Amino acid sequence: MTQMIFLTMMLPAAGLAVCAGLTAVVRRWAIRTDFVARPRQDRYHRSVVAMGGGIAIFWTMAALILGGVAIVGLVIAPGALRWLSPDIERHAEGFMNRLPELMVVVAAAFSLHLLGLWDDKRRLGPAVKLAVQFIVAIAAAALADVRVEMFIDNTLITTALSVVWIVLIINVFNFLDNMDGLSAGIAAIATAVLMTAAFRSGQVFVGAMGLAFFGTLLGFLAFNFPPATIFMGDAGSMVVGFFVALLTLRTTYYDPAVGTPLYSVLMPAVVMAVPLYDFITVTFLRLKQGKSPFVGDTQHFSHRLQRRGLSDRQVALTLYLATLCTGVGGIILQQVNWVGAGLVFAQTVMMLVIVGILENTQNK
């Protein structure tokens, strides 16, 4: 048990250290090569900021996953280290059995990363981005078993639902990357909640990936929290959305064998309530104005809060707190009865109402 705890704690520490180091290197490279975000009318920032943070995020996760495969495959799995506990050797064997799925996950994230880099440099149209996102989502759902585990016993239906959910969450975090610290910070909170649920369900691999991703996000957030000195860009936000979607789909919420209630499957929606609120409201506003929902502007709820007098840090901390409040409700959803579930859903709605009141209050 002690060995397992030590190895588990190493994951977020490694993610934080590697991503922070890579982010510092990428930031200097981006400034030197003029890979920067300049102020524009449809963006809130008013200074030149380095781009390329997504490079650090993706390659940190890729290094941790591939490094884990190498360590397990070359050292632990063959039994070269007999001092390891039987539990760790058992998990190592299971880890290697999931190797093909892990490679699909890395390849899918890499595809989104390249797409994002291309968009950050050339500004691709939404049709191309959506097409690639759907291809990646289909590959992940079909080849890596990144599918929702529900009461629906039909692979075609669950695969279709999962593909739509993956594309939705990718774009939710892409939309959320509209102000310093929002996408990475909210993703970190959601990841912490999801990996807690995974560990409680006995899902060591999902929880371990959550820990690695959590540390990676914190390493980047050290440079992206207001005032940001680097942006993740689409090369990062789409990768972040993909990994969050992966965690939501691979975590087990409903298991009749152990008595978890059916409404537990709604946990991802509760945890993701705040970023989903932003995606839905800004999409509605743009469509109402006759604009494409995929054309950036400053109508996100973060911008509306800022126009009400909040600083960038206050906006980030307010939305972190709102996400944490809904996330805490999501954690207990598997343990409460129908009355408790009703209270969790009511709390989630009330939190969104509070955000709505704040962002629509006029300055005096």
Residue ranges covered by each domain of the chain: 2-261
- Residue 86: enclosing H or E segment and its boundaries? helix 86-97
Digit-coded pLDDT (tens) for 219-264: 999 999 999 999 999 999 999 999 999 999 988 766 655 556 767 7
Q: What is the mean pLDDT of residues 213-220?
A: 98
Digit-coded pLDDT (tens) for 152-200: 677 888 899 999 999 999 999 999 998 999 999 999 999 999 998 888 8
Q: Which two tokens stand for residue 19?
A: 């991503």
Confidence of residue 355 (pLDDT cuts 50, 70, 90): confident
Residue 302 CA: distances (Å) to CA of 106, 307, 348:
31, 9, 18
Question: What is the DSSP code string of 105-116?
Answer: HHHHHHHHHHHH
Q: What is the mean pLDDT of residues 204-221?
A: 93
Q: Where are the beta strands (DSSP E) in the chain?
A: 36-37, 49-50
Cis before 261? omega within 30: no
Nearest to 112 by CA among 55, 152, 65: 55
**Three-state SS at 102:** helix
Q: What is the mean pLDDT of residues 294-316?
A: 84
Does the pLDDT at position 125 exceed 90?
no
pLDDT at position 59: 98
Percentage of the chain lying above the pLDDT 90 cut: 51
Digit-coded pLDDT (tens) for 331-344: 888 788 888 889 99
User: Over 318-347, what HEC string results?
Assistant: HHHHHHHHHHHHHHHHHCCCHHHHHHHHHH
pLDDT at position 254: 62
Between 14 and 10, the more confident residue is: 14
pLDDT at position 359: 73
pLDDT at position 338: 85
Nearest to 306 by CA among 163, 181, 138: 181
- Whole-model pTM? 0.91
pLDDT at position 204: 79
Does the pLDDT at position 4 exceed 60?
no
Digit-coded pLDDT (tens) for 55-113: 999 999 999 999 888 877 766 655 555 555 565 566 666 667 778 889 999 999 999 99
Percentage of the chain lying above the pLDDT 70 cut: 85
Mean residue pLDDT of the chain comes to 86
pLDDT at position 330: 86
pLDDT at position 185: 97
